[in-house]
């Protein structure tokens, strides 16, 4: 029994020694606990200088991403992986993100578009609306763009905004003459009255190219803006002037 106990004690001692050797010598070698060093911080440094620092520390560098921004100087490192102050093996490749000037895009011509359409067109190319002004404009429908700055075709950095002026339509208490050419006499009179005008004199002209009783001309041009309504004379087409004379006689 004594010999057996001695064997047990020797075996236990050997196991303890093996565990200590494995824990203090073999495991550190296996996991390479002492390999590598803490990663240096190269953010906010010019790319060329950052690459020299990494090389001197035993690392390789690779530009893997680009940030287009006006907030950083061109060619400056804005991010790195692995991150600074993390334990990294020697020879590791460090991926760098560098800043570049913002890309410039061509500005679309927005004159005549609705405000919503203009906004969508700008968003698609990375621009936005900065300021919106309003003005009365009888030539452009209400809600559409009458002016823009910068103008269409100019170049602008992504992320920048445009200044737009939007039409409020015809000024209040003003009257805009409708376009009556080609309308039937009945429809022309209806449009006149709806716009606040009245039919003045009616003239007839023989014309074989248009349907009879179609408006050929109006005494005040279409789209004219007036401060007060007035009578508008119309010239109407007929196939034969004799028909008009017969109507007058009857």
Tell me the fold of 2-100. Trypsin Inhibitor V; Chain A (3.30.10)
Q: What is the DSSP string of 129-163?
A: EEEEEEE--SSS-TTBEEEEESPTT-EEETT-EEE
Give, in words, the CATH class of 175-249. Answer: alpha beta
Share of the chain above pLDDT 90, in %: 52
Integer CA distances (angstroms), 117 to 35, 111, 113, 160, 161, in order: 60, 11, 6, 18, 15
At residue 56, does pLDDT exceed 70? Answer: yes
- 3-state DSSP assignment of residue 203: strand
pLDDT for the residue 24 = 60
Instruction: List the beta bridge partners of residue 163.
Output: 131, 149
List the domain boundaries for the chain: 2-100, 105-167, 175-249
Poorest-confidence range of 41-45, 109-113, 226-230?
226-230
Alpha carbon of residue 227 to chain centroid: 40
Say which residue the tokens 């011509």 belong to.
109
At residue 10, does pLDDT exceed 90? Answer: no
**pLDDT tens track for 107-164:** 999 999 999 999 999 999 989 999 999 998 878 899 999 999 999 999 988 888 999 9
Give, in words, the CATH class of 105-167. Answer: alpha beta
Q: CA geometry: angle at 146 spanning 141 and 150, to 5°? A: 155
Integer CA distances (angstroms), 15 to 10, 20, 25, 241, in order: 9, 9, 15, 129
**pLDDT tens track for 189-200:** 999 999 989 999
At residue 249, does pLDDT exceed 70? Answer: no
Q: Tell me, yes or no, if the two domains 2-100 and 105-167 fold the same way.
A: yes
């Amino acid at each position: 029994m004594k010999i057996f106990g001695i064997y047990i004690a020797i075996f236990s001692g050997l196991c303890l020694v093996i565990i200590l050797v494995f824990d203090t010598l073999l495991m550190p070698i296996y996991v390479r606990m002492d390999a590598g060093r803490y990663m240096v911080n190269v953010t906010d440094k010019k790319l060329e200088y950052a690459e020299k620092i990494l090389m001197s520390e035993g690392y390789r560098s690779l530009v893997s991403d680009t940030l287009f921004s006006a907030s950083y100087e061109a060619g400056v490192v804005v991010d790195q992986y692995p991150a600074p102050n993390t334990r990294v093996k020697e020879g590791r490749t460090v991926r760098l993100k560098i800043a570049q000037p913002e890309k410039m895009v061509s500005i679309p011509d927005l004159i005549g578009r609705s405000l919503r359409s203009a906004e969508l067109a700008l968003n698609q190319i990375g621009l936005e609306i900065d300021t919106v002004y309003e003005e009365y404009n009888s030539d452009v429908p209400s809600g559409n763009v009458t002016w823009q700055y910068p103008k269409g075709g100019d170049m602008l950095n992504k992320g920048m905004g445009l200044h737009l002026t939007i039409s409020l339509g015809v000024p209040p208490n003003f009257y805009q003459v409708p376009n009556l050419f080609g309308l039937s006499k009945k429809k022309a009179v209806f449009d006149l009255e709806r716009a606040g005008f009245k039919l003045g004199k009616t003239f007839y002209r023989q014309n074989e190219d248009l349907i009879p009783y179609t408006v050929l001309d109006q005494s005040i041009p279409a789209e004219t803006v007036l401060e007060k309504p007035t009578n508008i004379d119309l010239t109407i087409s007929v196939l034969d002037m004799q028909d008009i004379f017969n109507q007058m006689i009857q």
